[in-house]
Structure 1
Amino acid sequence: MRPLSLKRHRFPADVIRHAIWLYFRFTLSFRDVEEMLAQRGIEVSYETIRCWTIKFGPQIARNLKRRRPAPSPRWHLDEVVCKIGGKRMYLWRAVDDEGEVLDVVVQKRRDHHAALTLLKRLLRNQPVEPEAIVTDGLASYGSALRELGLDGFHRPGRLSENNRAENSHLPIRRRERKMQLFKSQGSAQRFLTTHAGVYNTFYSQRHLISRSTLRTFRSAANDAWIAATMAA
């Protein structure tokens, strides 16, 4: 795991790590994080926080992903329309049946090529082979899976059968509103990839577990965050 290079920064490593954690862990703007740090006597501008998230966020997400156990082999795929930089684009998303985000891809089209791009990324980057791929009725999924020889794993169905993927868009919709929409395809892809890494680490279905189990999960998530943000 590659440590973060935090040398030659005016602020201590703990401040930088905490600011990045606040921004990606909760639905906050850069100005919100600035105010929260100022309340603790730390004077840092929102623009500096933005630079920290751009510089260190992707590497932290990669470090967190390396520490994650293998996801479930049952994948749920879905796509939603969004407006980025005044243009109509599509957010293609894959999660497993436990809600872990497998991949997020921002693309300009909603067609065979876009579905194929998402599936190739999944097959290349995931440590497990799929046992089932659940999608909605979009024909592009079927044609892309046939091209890859995976049509035997395809489970097309109604929206109610793909609720896991549908519901996974909700945290992103909240962030999209807070950020007053994404500004460019590149910045949206960078944010969503980093957000997914942090989300997977701290996500827990608290309504299904006991309080003691929740404390154990939180402790494990905090340990993973500390290890992933270790400074060189």
Structure 2
Amino acid sequence: MLDILVQPRRNASAATRFFKRLPKGLRYKPKRLVTDGLRSYGVAHREVRPEVRQRVSRYLNNRAENSHRPTRGRERQMQRFKSPQQAQRFLSAHAMIYGHFRPRRHLMMAHGYRRARDNAFRVWKRETCVQVAG
């Protein structure tokens, strides 16, 4: 998952706005874009990123959809977000933190995964100034 953008509609102008915002935080150019079957994504893709290959499948997008599961649970726990702005603030911060602690396990061996998790917690403690008792 690269980014989350909360919008009231899923039309072509909303998709175009999202596709224009998407590459600003990336250090590389994507080779392909996986989306669900929403037609407005095709319109925005042709307008903003025609050089990137688009794959449309409701199954290829499952990894991105599953990454939203903790967000949905949090939303239920909070009894819905009070406004779209509040949802955007929470989701933008949550996505970065969630990705920091969830290295791509399927691409690593066990010792590399443990090292990546240890490093993530070390960075988190350093950046948040958490003091360890001992």
TM range (shorter): 0.7 to 0.9
The answer for unaligned runs of 5 or more in structure 1 is: 1-94, 96-101
What whole-Å deviation, never above 9, does each CA across 1:31-84 have from its counterpart, x for those lacking one?
Answer: xxxxxxxxxxxxxxxxxxxxxxxxxxxxxxxxxxxxxxxxxxxxxxxxxxxxxx
Q: Which has the higher strand share?
A: 1
Query: Matched residues in 2 for 1:139 and 1:151: separation?
Result: 18
Correspondence 1:46-195 to 2 at 5 A: 95=1, 102-150=2-50, 152-157=52-57, 159-195=58-94
Matched, 1:224 2:123: yes
Query: Matched residues in 1 for 2:77 and 2:129: separation?
Result: 29
The answer for unaligned runs of 5 or more in structure 2 is: none
- Name which one, 1 or 2, has greater alpha-carbon Rg: 1
Please point out which of 182, 188, 201 is paired with 2:100. 201
Give the secondary-structure state (helix, strand or coil) at the position aligned to 1:193: helix
The answer to whether the 8 A contact 2:30-2:52 is kept is: no
TM (normalized to structure 2)?
0.84
Q: CA deviation at 1:215?
A: 2.8
The answer to whether the 8 A contact 1:142-1:151 is kept is: no
What whole-Å deviation, never above 9, does each CA across 1:165-212 have from its counterpart, x for those lacking one?
Answer: 2211111111111111111111111111111111011014558742x4
Query: Matched residues in 2 for 1:179 and 1:206: separation?
Result: 29
Identity level (%): 45
TM (normalized to structure 1)?
0.51
User: Root-mean-square deviation (CA), in Å?
Assistant: 2.2
Query: Matched residues in 2 for 1:115 and 1:190: separation?
Result: 19
Give the match for residue 38 of structure 1.
none
Query: Matched residues in 2 for 1:204 and 1:124: separation?
Result: 22
